[in-house]
Amino acid sequence: MPFPFLPAFTIMLYLQVKYGLDMWAVLGIGVAGSILGRYILTLYIPHLSAKVFKPAKNADVQFLGEKLKAKGWRSQAAIVTYSLLPLPTTPLFLAGGMARIRPLYIIPAFFVGKLTSDSVALSMGGYAAKNLGSLRASVFSWQSIVGLSASLLLLFVLLFVDWRSLIEKKAFRLDFNIFK
C-alpha cells in the first residue's frame, strides 16, 4: 500500500491469538509477506509516481536515493534502525522505489529490523491479549496519536521537501506543487 495501513504485526498478532498459532511460524510467514509486499511496492511505485508526481519531484527523490546509496554500510544501518522503530516502513520503500533503488539493496537490512521488531511486538502482543481489559482504555492514547502523526509527517517530509536544494545548497525549501 502506498499509504499508511495496519502494521503487519497487528494482523500477525490477531491470527496468532485468534487461532492459537505458533508465534515463530506466524512471524516467519508474516515477515516473508511483508518483504514480498514491500518488494512489489518498489517495483510498481516508480511507474505510479511518474503518473502522479511532477518530474521535478521524481528527480528530487531519485537524487535523495543516490545519496542514500552512496553512504554504503551507514545506509544499511539506518535502514535497520528505521525498521526497528515503531514507525511504518512504507515511506522508506516509497522513497526507495521512487528513487529506483534496487529492492535488494533495502530488503536485507529491512529483514533484520522487521524480524527483530515483529518478534518483540508479537511477544508483547501475546501478553497484551491476555490482559486486554486493562489495555482497552489506552487505544486512543497519546502514543497512538503520536505514531500516526509521525507517519504522516514522514510522508509530508518525503514529498514536500525539496531535497536537492537542501543537500546541495543547504537551503530548506518546501514545494507543495508536486502533482501533475
In tens, the pLDDT along 25-55 reads 999 999 999 999 999 999 999 888 888 888 8
* 152-165 pLDDT per residue, tens: 898 898 889 988 88
> Roughly how many angstroms between the first and final C-alpha of the chain, as a whole number?
21
Residue 22 has pLDDT above 90, yes or no: yes
Question: In angstroms, what CA-CA distances link 98 with 31, 117, 148?
Answer: 23, 25, 23
**d(Cα 33, Cα 30) in Å, to the nearest integer?**
5
Question: What φ, ψ does residue 20 adopt, rounded to 5°?
Answer: 60, 35
DSSP label at 140?
A: T
